[in-house]
């Protein structure tokens, strides 16, 4: 664990109170986990000192905002505190914010290293209204000599074309299990967190490629139970245990409809929502090794349809029963259905 990983400028007592996701947020580009090619492009920008307008696109919790903050720190040095403005566009997303706060910062006089520009970071930029994006496009044009924009978003197609054409688009992929595991072990060692391998696997499973989620779950499980094992992690995350889902899949693949439905009813009675159950079911199916690829694809297709209906508002137990029945039917003998 390098010294750069711990938030600088604070005492150890203050650091202990910080959320670990902030305490161990990387401060320089080389400490960022994953997406090596994209981070290398940012490192090249930092060396050259000529930053273009940037769109960073990808799933939550994989390092987009952290990357641009590291880039700003390396470009501006000590001046980054005055030369950077960060806005969360999911809250500040109206046209008035562009006209007032962003425009005022772009006009502000700041002493920066030679050849450097002020940086405006817009997080969740895909949530900005159409009018705000149009106003932002004009602001990017007018203040191009003094200010650069970095837009972090989950879906770049929700950014209007005129802004996309003015920006370099950098795409971030989901982090691998190995990358998340390595970081979790570093934090566990630094914080003296007792754990076992099952607990770390559970953290990786619940995170699903999201480093921020993994670190938050680690801290919550440690503060709640003082030991990281699979049971404690799933209690904190409040997700159906994969073992139960695994048993449901075994019942479906064996054509045991009653047993599979009973297990789903038990999860439902425990208070898990239809979305919780279907999401965990999908994650387990992807890594379930007792099915041939054709059957696994059919299962994923049915789970996808059920997920779509649930998101549309049909979150009843009958919806889950229908899904399980269709999954059982896939592996049952055709003659069972002859009338």
Listed residue (297, 300, 261, 306) closest to 282, CA to CA: 300
> Does residue 119 register a pLDDT over 60?
yes
In-domain check, residue 227: no
In-domain check, residue 217: no
pLDDT of 14 reads 44
Is 156 in the same domain as 248? no
Average confidence score pLDDT of the chain: 84
Is 150 in the same domain as 277? no
pLDDT of 218 reads 92
Is 48 in the same domain as 164? yes
Q: Which of 117, 149, 171 is the last residue of a domain?
A: 171
**Residues 187-237: tens digit of each pLDDT:** 999 988 898 888 899 899 888 888 998 999 999 989 888 889 888 888 888
Structural domain range at position 113 = 35-171
Is 40 in the same domain as 159? yes
Listed residue (298, 204, 201) closest to 249, CA to CA: 298
State the average pLDDT over residues 310-314.
88
In-domain check, residue 328: yes
State the average pLDDT over residues 145-173.
87
Is 166 in the same domain as 273? no
If 0-12 CB within 10 Å is exposed, 13-18 middle and 19+ buried, where does residue 66 land? buried
Please answer whether residues 167 and 52 qualify as being in contact, where contact means their C-beta atoms are separated by less than 8 angstroms: yes
In-domain check, residue 9: no
- CATH number, domain of 72, equals 3.40.50.300
Distance CA 183, CA 190 (A): 11
> Does residue 125 register a pLDDT over 70?
yes
DSSP 8-state class, residue 144: T
Is 333 in the same domain as 246? yes
Region of poorest pLDDT, from 11-15, 177-181, 216-220, 241-245 = 11-15
Is 163 in the same domain as 265? no
* Residues 6 or more apart in contact with residue 61 via CB below 8 angstroms: 207, 209, 210, 211, 212, 213
- CATH number, domain of 298, equals 1.20.272.10
Distance CA 296, CA 330 (A): 10
In the beta sheet, which residues pair with residue 147? 118
Is 135 in the same domain as 44? yes
pLDDT of 337 reads 54
pLDDT of 13 reads 43
pLDDT of 286 reads 84
Listed residue (267, 228, 273) closest to 245, CA to CA: 267
Number of domains in the chain: 2
Percent of the chain with pLDDT over 70: 91
Is 282 in the same domain as 164? no
In-domain check, residue 208: no
Buried b / exposed e over 290-302, threshold 16 CB at 10 Å, is ebeeebbebbeeb
Please answer whether residues 230 and 237 qualify as being in contact, where contact means their C-beta atoms are separated by less than 8 angstroms: no
Q: Which of 152, 171, 190 is the last residue of a domain?
A: 171
pLDDT of 7 reads 53
**Residues 83-114: tens digit of each pLDDT:** 888 887 656 666 777 777 778 888 888 777 78
pLDDT of 335 reads 60
> Does residue 10 register a pLDDT over 50?
no
Is 247 in the same domain as 328? yes
**Residues 247-297: tens digit of each pLDDT:** 898 888 888 888 999 999 999 998 888 888 998 899 888 887 777 888 888
Q: Which of 147, 171, 195 is the last residue of a domain?
A: 171
Is 46 in the same domain as 146? yes
Q: How confident is the model at residue 304 (pLDDT cuts 50, 70, 90)?
A: very high
pLDDT of 12 reads 43
> Does residue 318 register a pLDDT over 60?
yes
Is 161 in the same domain as 285? no
pLDDT of 15 reads 46
């Amino acid at each position: 664990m390098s010294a750069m990983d711990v938030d600088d400028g604070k005492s150890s007592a203050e650091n202990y109170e910080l959320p670990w996701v902030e305490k161990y947020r990387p401060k320089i580009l080389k400490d960022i986990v994953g997406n090596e090619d994209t981070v290398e492009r940012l490192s090249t920008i930092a060396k050259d000192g000529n930053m273009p307008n940037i769109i960073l696109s990808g799933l939550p919790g994989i390092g987009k905002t952290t990357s641009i903050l590291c880039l700003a720190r390396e470009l501006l040095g000590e001046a980054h505190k005055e030369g950077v403005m960060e806005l969360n566009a999911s809250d500040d997303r109206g046209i008035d914010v562009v006209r007032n706060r962003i425009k005022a910062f772009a006009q502000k006089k700041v002493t920066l290293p030679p050849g450097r520009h002020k940086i405006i970071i817009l997080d969740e930029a895909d949530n900005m209204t159409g009018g705000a994006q149009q106003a932002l496009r004009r602001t990017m044009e007018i203040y191009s000599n003094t200010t650069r924009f970095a837009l972090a978003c989950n879906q770049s197609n929700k950014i209007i074309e005129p802004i996309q054409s003015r920006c370099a688009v950098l795409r971030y992929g989901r982090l691998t299990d190995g990358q998340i595991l390595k970081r979790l072990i570093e934090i566990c060692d630094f914080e003296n967190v007792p754990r076992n391998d099952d607990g770390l696997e559970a953290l990786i499973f619940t995170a699903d490629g999201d480093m921020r989620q993994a670190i938050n779950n680690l801290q919550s499980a440690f503060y709640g139970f003082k030991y990281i094992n699979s049971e404690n992690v799933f209690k904190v995350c409040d997700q159906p245990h994969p073992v139960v889902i695994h048993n449901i899949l075994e019942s479906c693949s064996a054509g045991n409809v009653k047993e599979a439905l009973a297990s789903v009813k038990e999860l439902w009675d425990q208070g898990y929502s239809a979305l919780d159950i279907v999401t965990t079911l999908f994650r387990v199916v992807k890594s379930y090794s007792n099915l041939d690829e054709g059957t696994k694809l059919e299962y994923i297709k049915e789970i996808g349809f059920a997920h779509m209906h649930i998101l549309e508002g049909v979150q009843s137990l009958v919806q889950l029963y229908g899904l399980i029945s269709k999954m059982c039917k896939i592996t049952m003998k055709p003659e069972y259905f002859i009338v």
